[in-house]
Structure formats: C-alpha cells, structure tokens
Amino acid sequence: MANPLWKGSQVIAAVATHLVGQDVPTDWVANGVSIDTRDLKPGDIFVALPGEHVDGHAYVEAAFEAGAAAAFVRPDFASESLPAKAVLLPVSDVLAALEALGRAARERSQAHIIAVTGSVGKTSVKETLSAALAKSGSVHASERSFNNHIGVPLSLARLSAEADFAVFELGMNHAGELTDLVDMVRPQCAIVTTIGTAHIENFDNMTALARAKAEIFSGLVEGGVAILPRDNAYYDELKQGASQARIMDFSAEGNAQAQAFTAQVKLHEACSCVTAHILGQEVIYKIGTPGAHHVANSLAVLAAVQNAGADLALAALSLADNEGLSGRGRRYAIGDAEAQITLIDESYNANPTSMAAALNTLGLAPRLGRGRRVAVLGDMAELGKDAPALHASLAENIEQADIDLVLTCGDLMVHLHNHLPPGRTGPHVGTTDEIMEILHRDLRANDVVMVKGSNSSGMGKVVDALLASSAAQIKQARVG
C-alpha cells in the first residue's frame, strides 16, 4: 500500500505556528489537498480559503460529506451539521497555513525540482517537461495553470515525499511576485521560456518586466541552474539576474555558443523535426505540436532533462507524443471526411508574442481545395497605453504568415481590423455571439481556423460553440 501524502501529526507540525487551540487530533491521514469541493476526493484536506466572491467556509460541510479527512478553517468557524469525527484545524490565517504545509512538503522532498516562468509557454513547457521526465522516474507537477500565490503552495502541498522529479509553473504580473513564489519552491533548476509584452501595462518598460521575470533565480538552491533563452532581446537582463547561478542557455536560431541549440529544423503543418545539440550531445527528434516556438521550448525541456540526470534519449522520444494542450494549440477535426474543417484552439490567453507565434503556425497549414487559413482573434489584455498600436502591428504577422481571412472581435482588435489589407479583412464585431453567427454561416470545407485571444475576450466560448455545434461529427485528433 502506498504511503499517505500526509499523516495528521505531520500536518499539525507543519502548521503549528498558525494553529489556534491545542486539542487537535493527529491520528488521521490524508492523500490529497483541495481548495474546491468540486474536485475534492475522499481523504483530501480541505482548505477553506476566504475569497472576494466565495468563501470556502460555506463549503466545509460539503467537503466532509464528500469524504474530506480534515479542513483548515478560521478560528471562529462552527457548524452543528458536521460529522462527530470531523477534523477541524482552526488556524489564524488559512492561506498562511496552506503555505506552511507547502513549505513542509518542499523541506522533506528529495526530488529534483524545476521551476518554469516566462511570458509565453509556461504551461506547455511544464507539461512537456513532466512527460519527458516521467520516462526516468515519478514526477509531480502543478495542475493546469496553478501558478499564483494560491496555486503554488497548493501544488507544493500535494508533493509526495516519494517523487523523483517535480515541475512547478510560476506566474506573475507585478514585480516582486516571483520572489515570494520561488522562495517557497526553492528549485534546483529554473527556466525562463521567453520574454514578451504580457502584462506590460504593470511595468515602466520591457527591461523592468524582464528583470521581474529574473526574480525566479533568487530562490535557486546553491549551485542551481538557470536555463535562459539565448535568442531573446532581454537575455542580458536575465543573465544578470542569474549571476549567482550556473547558466545554461538555448537557441532555436542555431547559435552554437548556447549549451542547447538547433542544427537543423523542418517545420511542418502538424509537427516539427529537429536535429539539436544538447550539452554536446546530438539529438534527433520529432515534436508532435507544430510551430517554431515549440522548437525553442523543446530545447529548454531537453536541457532541463539533461541537467536533472534523466534519460535524454527517452525524453526526446516523448516529444513526438506532445499534441498540444486545450487552449494552447490543440487541434480538432470537425465534420465528416467530405467537409472537414480543422480547428486550432489557442484560446487560453494571448499577448503579442504568443499571437505572432500562433499566426506563424497557422501559416504552415496547406491550402486544400477551396480551404482558407482563417484567424479568429479577440482582444489582448494588460498591454497598457500601447495596446492599440500592439494590436495594429499584428497586421505584419498576418501578411508574413499569408493568412487568408481575419475575423476580429472586441474594442482593441478594431485597430488590427483597420490596418488589414482588403483582401484579408473579414468582419469586425463586438461579441462572440456575432463571431459564431459568421462562422456558422461562412466556414467551408478544408478551412483551417485558429481561435485566439486573452481570457477576458471570451474566445474559449467560440471554441466550445464550434465543437458543440458539430458534436455528433467531431472527433478529437491531431490533424495531419
């Protein structure tokens, strides 16, 4: 039988400085940690976090009905409906108690720990790296995009003492945030995927943003490794921030001065074929997700694998199975064989860097029959005063990728719409409902449709509607 994630006595010891009252039972075990009763499993510790809109204390009873092993609650919490044996852990600060539990998990862990940040590709690199390391041992990774002041301690608290490797995604949109997060994680290796204009409205300039990303290196353990994007314009800022680390860098442009660099790359519609040198070792591999940005990410992944002492050859083989994540490049074939449409789901989020990468990848799609390359684009958020110009500048990417038709939605995307040449200009609308009306009416067989925008733009609803509208005929598959 596998060991429990936590024994009651271990939890009590971890949160002792936050615990209110001494009569707390210790003869229980937990196999997970949850902040949401919708995904809580029997045997989980429920953390009743207070929130602006929802207070977790309203769900404590539901948590125990679902089989919770214990619950972190505020000291004044009381309920007459709880089971007699319900283990309540009254703490002075529920979030601080979760952080303490996460730090205790990190303290006991013998895993090789890797942290990932960047303006684009954090989640994709985390997932790809996790799959690559799994060829060499047991891996723990943060779920979905759990990368903030709640997601990081939650992910740490779920870290098993038996894990061989652990991969954590760290996010930020203000200076100072990464310092706090990486102080909890204390990785042996930290990766920056790239630096782009995401969240630029919160910074004076791009240099300040790059320096904030470099905060991830402040929490590296002694002798830790920093993996940096050699081709990025802000490489020097990152390198300066990592001055106390052992630096490894990667170059998708074939810069042989980097520790990981490409020697040859073939970009295809549905995959990429790469010959690379990883710390002096030649590796030939295929990436199941298309796009030049995934080639760059693969170099960071393989450099981290090599640094971790895992099997580089098996890791490279695993990249062929990478088919893209929902909202981050996953492809769907819609309709039957006679009238098939390819849907590329890039709807999770957007900034100018990721938007350019997605448009370039769409440009790899061949035109079959009367099929077109169609971009459906929603607003990019948090770009500050330069937002109109940054939206308009995407017209150049669209020209370079030779996109046939661009449909735009939102107050900011109108600036792109106004800069498109007539031959590529589709309708501009204000709502996703209007976008759907156009797509249902105008899409035709062999079209390749890419949907992208910031979360606030609601482009995910467009993807969901496209999939639901042809539910009987849709098969989820990599196309190509």
pLDDT in tens, 104-134: 999 999 999 999 999 888 999 999 999 999 9
Residue 1 has pLDDT above 70, yes or no: no
pLDDT in tens, 209-241: 999 999 999 999 999 999 999 999 999 999 999
Confidence bin at 263 (pLDDT 50/70/90): very high
Q: Could you give the CA distance from residue 454 to residue 383 in angstroms, rounded to a whole number?
A: 11
Residue 470 has pLDDT above 70, yes or no: no
Top-confidence residue, 365 or 471: 365
Q: What percent of the chain has pLDDT over 70?
A: 96
Residues of the chain with CATH 3.40.1390.10: 6-94
Residue 469 has pLDDT above 80, yes or no: no
Which two three-digit tokens encode residue 316? 């490279």
Which two three-digit tokens encode residue 175? 């200076």
Average pLDDT on 353-371 reads 93
Average pLDDT on 253-282 reads 95
Q: Report the pLDDT value the prediction gives residue 181, as an integer from 0 to 100.
A: 97
Average pLDDT on 374-390 reads 94
Average pLDDT on 9-20 reads 95
Residue 472 has pLDDT above 50, yes or no: no
Residue 477 has pLDDT above 80, yes or no: no
Q: Report the pLDDT value the prediction gives residue 234, as an integer from 0 to 100.
A: 95
Domain with residues 6-94, CATH architecture: 3-Layer(aba) Sandwich (3.40)
Residue 474 has pLDDT above 80, yes or no: no
- Residues 6 or more apart from 333 whose CB is under 8 A from it? 340, 341, 342, 343, 474, 475, 477, 479
pLDDT in tens, 397-438: 999 999 999 999 999 999 999 999 888 999 999 999 999 999
H/E run at residue 71: strand 70-73
pLDDT in tens, 322-339: 877 788 889 998 877 667
Q: What percent of the chain has pLDDT over 90?
A: 78
Q: Could you give the CA distance from residue 112 to residue 119 in angstroms, rounded to a whole number?
A: 24
Average pLDDT on 178-184 reads 97
Q: Could you give the CA distance from residue 354 to residue 417 in angstroms, rounded to a whole number?
A: 19
Q: Which CATH superfamily is domain 109-321 in?
A: Mur-like, catalytic domain (3.40.1190.10)
Q: Which residues pair with 47 in a beta bridge?
A: 72
Where b means 16+ CB within 10 Å and e means fewer, 338-359 reads eebbbbbbbbbbbbbbbbbbbb
Residue 82 has pLDDT above 80, yes or no: yes
Q: Could you give the CA distance from residue 283 to residue 31 in angstroms, rounded to a whole number?
A: 39
Q: For the ranges 45-59, 188-202, 206-220, 376-390, which has the lowest average pLDDT?
A: 188-202
Average pLDDT on 189-211 reads 87
Residue 479 has pLDDT above 80, yes or no: no
Q: Report the pLDDT value the prediction gives residue 53, as an integer from 0 to 100.
A: 85
Confidence bin at 476 (pLDDT 50/70/90): very low
Q: Could you give the CA distance from residue 262 to residue 282 in angstroms, rounded to a whole number?
A: 9
Confidence bin at 84 (pLDDT 50/70/90): confident
Q: Positive or negative CA dihedral for 192, 198, 199, 200?
A: positive
Q: Could you give the CA distance from residue 310 to residue 191 in angstroms, rounded to a whole number?
A: 17
Average pLDDT on 346-371 reads 92
Q: Report the pLDDT value the prediction gives residue 337, as an integer from 0 to 100.
A: 66
Average pLDDT on 158-174 reads 95
Average pLDDT on 443-459 reads 93
Residue 434: HSE in the Cβ half-sphere, 13 Å Cα cutoff: 12
Query: Which pTM value belongs to this model?
Result: 0.88
Q: For the ranges 232-236, 308-312, 325-329, 453-457, which has the lowest average pLDDT?
A: 325-329
Q: If phi over 0 gives left and psi between -120 and 50 gives alpha, with beta otherwise, what is residue 230? A: alpha
Does the structural domain 330-476 have CATH classification 3.30.9.100?
A: no
Residue at 390: amino acid letter: L
Which two three-digit tokens encode residue 176? 């100072």
Residues of the chain with CATH 3.40.1190.10: 109-321
Residue 473 has pLDDT above 50, yes or no: no
Q: Report the pLDDT value the prediction gives residue 51, as an integer from 0 to 100.
A: 83
Average pLDDT on 340-345 reads 92
Q: Report the pLDDT value the prediction gives residue 348, as an integer from 0 to 100.
A: 87
Residues of the chain with CATH 3.90.190.20: 330-476
Q: Could you give the CA distance from residue 299 to residue 121 in angstroms, rounded to a whole number?
A: 13
